[in-house]
Structure 1
Amino acid sequence: MIDEIYSDGISEITVTGSIVRIDLMSLSPSDRDPVNNPKPVLRRRIIIPADAFANAADLMQKAVQMLIASGTVQVRKTSILRARYELMT
């Protein structure tokens, strides 16, 4: 069995030469910002070669297109995702 990691999102992507670092974050159940929103907390870092990152980005874009087409993800009119989806279809 493989280890699975849950993430609420990506907090940062850093490119150094041919290496890409992707910081995965989750929202803290206890730490809050001044407006009482949960603070993001770094949980894991993925470190991959730039070419692997480019391939992953392409795969994720295809997955986003499928999510939009199926209605799973609703995209606002002004969204960058919507503009990209419309260009691809």
Structure 2
Amino acid sequence: MVSEIFADGVGRVDFVSGVVRIELVSLEPTESGQGKMEVRQRIAMPVDGFLHSLNTMGDLVNKLVEAGVLKRNEQTATAGAPAPAKK
């Protein structure tokens, strides 16, 4: 069985000792009612794995745009999307 992790977003992304570390955060309620983002998990991967994941996510963004789920803003459309990093 594959375990599943839910995160509201990404907190920090750091590069330390040749490894990319990504913090996954979730919104936790506070007494004031504002909520606070707390780190739930960290993903650590080599640079090659990180670059591959960026390319994979970029492909998904393009598919979501084509499907009409997302819309590119004017600045991105005129400037063009940044080129994916090369290995």
TM-score, L = length of structure 2: 0.78
Structure with the higher fraction of residues in strand conformation: 1
Question: Aligned-pair RMSD on alpha carbons?
Answer: 2.7
The alignment covers a number of residue pairs equal to 83
Aligned partner of 1:52 among 43, 49, 53: 49
Q: Does 1:68 align with 2:65?
A: yes
User: Alpha carbons of 1:42 and 1:79: their partners in 2 closer, same or farther (altered >3 Å)?
Assistant: farther
Task: Tell me how far apart the structure 1 counterparts of residues 66 and 59 of structure 2 sit (CA, whole Å).
Answer: 11
Q: Which runs of 4+ in 1 moved over 6 A?
A: none
TM-score (ref. length: structure 1): 0.76
Q: Give 5+ residue unaligned stretches, structure 1.
A: none
Name the % identity. 27
The residue number in structure 1 matching 2:12 is 12
Q: Is the 8 A contact 1:32 1:39 kept in 2?
A: no
Q: Secondary structure at the match of 2:42?
A: strand
Alpha-carbon offset, residue 39 of structure 1: 1.1
Unaligned runs of 5+ in 2: none
